[in-house]
Copies of this chain bind each other. A is one copy, B any other.
């Protein structure tokens, strides 16, 4: 019961964001992270995840090679390759290497979660599906069902939204009718939960994970 996920990405920021999103789900769990394709086989052998969420571009050993070597082993996990652009030439290589699917990094959180569940149950996400997901993203009005709210409390989410609008702590305090100290507490909690060093990194995570949408 429950799907164990290994997150592989060379960007610490992205890993933190994905972890936050995934761990918010009751049926999903991040059992480990790797920052490099070369670390993947060891982590997989040790942690035995059900699904590996793997970035394409990484130093040393890229996601394609890592996928290939993984799938060659015994009882391999499902692999979802995460890429930035859908016409990335790596995508075709990823499918040939045996990936069960791939996602765009700009995909909305709930779609990432759905994708993990799908491949865990044996489904395959094909190229057009990613396109459709993308289209669906834009078809959705403002009902962005971002999901790490469950990790962030409502108040913390309020604060993050304002941080992501460029507001200072003092401004946020005025807008929320609380003291600056309170805002500092919330911001501190947000940073801790997102594993961000400062508000700038928090904003980046908010954009990268779809907590807020550009435009």
Interchain CB contact under 8 A, A138 and B142: no
Q: How many copies of this kind of chain does the complex include?
A: 2
Q: Which of B88, B134, B203 contacts A203 (CB under 8 A)? A: B203
A–B complex contacts, Cβ < 8 Å, 22 sampled: A11-B165, A13-B165, A13-B166, A84-B213, A84-B215, A85-B140, A85-B142, A87-B139, A105-B215, A106-B213, A134-B138, A166-B197, A166-B198, A166-B200, A166-B201, A168-B197, A168-B198, A200-B200, A203-B204, A207-B214, A208-B215, A214-B214
How many residues of A are counted as interface, with CB atoms below 8 angstroms from the partner's CB atoms? 36
Instruction: Kindly provide the distance from the CB of A211 to the nearest chain B CB, expressed in whole angstroms.
Output: 10
Name the B residues within 8 Å of A210 (CB-CB).
214
Chain A residues within CB distance 8 Å of chain B: 11, 13, 84-88, 104-107, 134, 138-142, 163-166, 168, 196-201, 203-204, 207-208, 210, 213-215
